[in-house]
Amino acid sequence: MAHELIPKEGQPPLPIDEIIRRLKGSFKHVKLDIERASKDCKESIQRMTSALKRGAKWCSAEDVDREKRVLGHSVYVIVADDPSTYISFTLSPETEKIFIGFESGWNEQAATPLCERLEEVLDYDMEIV
């Protein structure tokens, strides 16, 4: 399972710098990793480009172009209040949604309170996907 946080209806998405400011003011531990986000983005570009050459329908040339535009402008974020439980996600300038995936149901259950706080801190809505 996963959670997506999205701006409330009628509200624009928060700029990345505002999201980071709010995170730093609300969680004990906030780690920002631009290199990890860039590495993930490059891998995504390669995966989608290869898939498109094979005729895949799950991505498009527009998806590849979007990834190329955000390369170097995204940040991988880890937030926690204690080292045993954390959530992580990537913030990208062209994406309104914040996607938080979990390795297992146990991880999801343990991290749900952090997701709920994140929802409150950002004043976003959360959907389980």
Taking only the tens place, the pLDDT of each residue in 89-125 is 999 987 889 999 987 777 888 889 999 999 999 999 9
Q: What is the CA radius of gyration of the chain?
A: 15
What separation in angstroms does the CA of 74 have from each of 1, 12, 40, 67, 119?
23, 18, 10, 10, 20
Rounded to two decimals, the pTM is: 0.88
**SS3 for 26?**
helix
Model pLDDT, residue 107: 81
Position of tokens 């997506």?
Answer: 4
Residue 37: phi, psi to the nearest 5?
Answer: -65, -40
pLDDT, tens digit, 9 for 90 and up, residues 56-94? 999 999 999 999 999 999 999 999 998 888 999 999 987
Per-residue model confidence as pLDDT tens digits over 30-48: 999 999 999 999 999 999 9
